[in-house]
Structure formats: C-alpha cells, structure tokens
C-alpha cells in the first residue's frame, strides 16, 4: 500500500480577534500583549455602581483630572501581559537568588567591615516599609485606573514592590542581624530622619486622584529615591568596602531602570494628548518633587553626610530632564 504525504497550507480567515481588528484592520496579526490588553475593560452593562461611591461607575474616567482621547494609548513599551511579566521576573529572581547564595557561600557578609555594615543597614532596612507603602499605592492606581493598559502595568509594579520589600528584609538576614530589622522598624516609626518620608508615604496613601498618586509615588519619590540609594549610596559603599550590597540590591536597580521606561512612555503619551494634561502633569510633578526632596533630605544626610545636598541637587536635575524628555516642561 502506498502512502501519499502532502503538505496542506490553510489560510486563516482572519488574523486576529474582532476587538483588535476594529482597531488595526482584519489583516494585521497582533502581539500577545495587544491581545491581552486592548479594549478588554468592560464599558457597558454594569450590574451595579460602587456602594461606597454610587455617583460613579465601577470604571470611571472621572476618577482623575487627566483626560485621554484613547486610554489605550498608554501602552507598555515592555509589552508586559501576565505571561511575559512572570517570565521576566522569574529570570530576575533567579539572578537575585544566585547573588544571595554567592554572598553566603563565600562568607562575604561575615567578612564585611562592621562599621560599613552598620551604616548600610541603617539606610537600607527602613526602605522595606517604603516598598510596602509603594505596593499599596500602586495597587490603588491599578484598582481605579481606566483601561487595562494602565491597570495591568500598575498591578505588576505593585507586586514587584512586595518583592523589593522582601529583598530589603533579606539584607538583615543575609548579615545575620535580626536586631537590625527590629531597629529599622523602630527607626521608621520614631527616628527623626525617617518621619518626613513616612509622612510623604502616608499622604500619598490617602490621595484620591489615581494619576496623581502615580506621579507622587512612581515619578517624584522613586525617581529620586532609587538613584539616591540603590545607585549612589551603593557606589559609595563599593568604593569603601566592596560590592556586597550592590550584589544584594541588584533586583531594585534593574527593576527601576526597566519600570522607568514604562512610566516615561505613559507620561509622554499623556502629555501629547492635550495641553490640559501637560499643564496638570507639570503642576503635580513640581509639587510632589519638592515634597519628595524635603522627605529625602534627612535620609540623604544619613547616607552621605555633607555630600547629600549636592547629590540631591544633581538627581533633581536628572528628574527634571526626564520630565522634559516626556514633553513636560517644569
């Protein structure tokens, strides 16, 4: 018996789903990110209004002063949907775990100079409370933002901050210093150098406009905090005592560099949509940048001493340049 094998090419009747075809045309294939993002938020046939805010819909554009012709213009340049995000974070976690294992296996933490360790842990460990607050604030953005493009990216960033809080806590464990973790909590609650930052975080927690919360937490505060501590302070420790803390905070640096690209793209698209957005963003950024500067000055002094003011001034200029690159003149 003869068997005749043939290759049959089947041409699909359409390249993508209907909601994407209406945006892009039926003959254009879409990425997984677009399939998992565009036009997926419900916009009609709601069953009820929020009992705590009955004057609004569940998803309501009026929850922020920002307006957009198309909220799905705020796309994520990283193209993160759930699958892509988990894969990316899994790789980052693998690297971070390897760094912690290497420090333990080689005894690098035990060999670290006591004076350097004490100073570093005083600066780093209270930041786990900042990361926890950042998780809450980003979760608020995710809950009330309009459009899946914004809400899913904010949700991923919120979960990332839980990871940051855990990695900061593990610094104390890596150096076998449980007392330092307890002292860091006391410093966060009572230490004079942390109270302005604590006040900042708590004020952002009660913010109502979700886009303003995004500006206050992600752009103004973290735009100064991460370069200040996870870059500049690490460089100072490296020069004095070696790169152990740089190894153990790699996740934070890589996360900030990657997430900044998303936030800058959001601000650029938002500012380009209409002049009112640009003016509102500039107002928020200037106000929260000044508050973040006040909040971080005591922390910078704790980390850098007399060099703190000069370093903060440079970082403020860098943040202003980021805003300008997004089309927002301060």
In a domain, 133, yes or no: yes
Q: Is 112 domain-assigned?
A: yes
- Whether 35 contacts 17, CB under 8 Å: yes
The b-or-e profile of 282-312 (16+ CB within 10 A means b, else e) is bebbeebbebbbebbbbbbebbbeeebeebb
Q: Measure the CA–CA gap between 241 and 251, rounded to whole angstroms.
A: 20
Predicted TM-score (pTM) of this structure: 0.91
* pLDDT per residue as tens, the chain (330 positions): 677 777 888 777 777 787 888 887 777 778 889 888 998 898 888 778 888 888 988 899 999 999 999 999 999 999 999 999 999 999 999 999 999 999 999 999 888 998 889 999 999 999 999 999 999 999 999 999 999 999 999 999 999 999 999 999 999 899 887 888 999 999 999 999 999 999 999 999 999 999 999 999 999 999 999 999 999 999 999 998 889 999 999 999 999 999 999 999 999 999 999 999 999 999 999 999 999 999 999 999 999 999 999 999 999 999 999 999 999 998
40 in a structural domain: no
Q: How far is 231 from 253, CA to CA, in rounded Å?
A: 7
Query: Is the Cβ–Cβ distance between 36 and 16 less than 8 Å?
Result: no
CATH number for position 88: 1.10.620.20
Q: Is residue 267 part of a domain?
A: yes
Check the CA dihedral 8-13-19-23 and report its sign. Answer: positive
Domain around 301:
79-325
Q: Is residue 50 a part of any domain in this protein?
A: no
Q: Domain for residue 45, yes or no?
A: no
Q: Would you say residue 119 lies in a domain?
A: yes
- Report the domain count for the chain: 1
| 10 domain residue, yes or no | no
């Amino acid at each position: 018996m003869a068997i005749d094998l043939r290759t049959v090419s089947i041409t699909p009747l359409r390249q993508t789903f209907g909601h994407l075809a209406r945006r892009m045309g039926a003959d254009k294939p879409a990425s997984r990110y677009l399939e998992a993002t565009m036009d997926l938020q419900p916009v009609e046939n709601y069953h009820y209004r929020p009992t705590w805010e009955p004057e609004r819909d569940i998803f309501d554009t009026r929850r922020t002063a920002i307006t957009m012709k198309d909220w799905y213009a705020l796309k994520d340049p990283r193209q993160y949907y759930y699958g892509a995000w988990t894969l990316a974070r899994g790789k980052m976690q693998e690297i971070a775990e390897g760094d912690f294992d290497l420090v333990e296996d080689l005894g690098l933490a035990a060999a670290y100079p006591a004076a350097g360790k004490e100073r570093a842990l005083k600066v780093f460990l209270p930041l786990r409370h900042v990361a926890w607050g950042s998780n809450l604030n980003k979760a608020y953005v995710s809950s009330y933002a309009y459009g899946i493009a914004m809400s899913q990216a904010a949700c991923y960033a919120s979960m990332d901050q839980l990871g940051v809080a855990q990695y900061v806590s593990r610094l104390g464990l890596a150096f076998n210093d449980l007392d330092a973790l307890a002292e860091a909590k006391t410093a966060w609650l009572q230490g004079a150098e942390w109270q302005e930052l604590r006040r900042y975080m708590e004020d952002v927690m009660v913010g109502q406009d979700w886009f303003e919360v995004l500006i206050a937490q992600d752009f103004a505060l973290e735009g100064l905090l991460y370069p200040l501590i996870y870059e500049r302070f690490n460089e100072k420790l490296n020069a004095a005592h070696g790169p152990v803390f740089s190894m153990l905070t790699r996740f934070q640096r890589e996360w900030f560099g990657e997430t900044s690209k998303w936030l800058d793209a959001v601000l650029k698209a938002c500012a380009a949509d209409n002049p009112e957005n640009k003016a509102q963003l500039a107002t928020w950024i200037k106000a929260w940048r000044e508050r973040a500067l006040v909040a971080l000055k005591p922390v910078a002094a704790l980390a850098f001493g007399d060099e703190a003011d000069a370093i903060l001034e440079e970082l403020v200029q860098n943040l202003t340049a980021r805003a300008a690159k997004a089309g927002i003149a301060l």
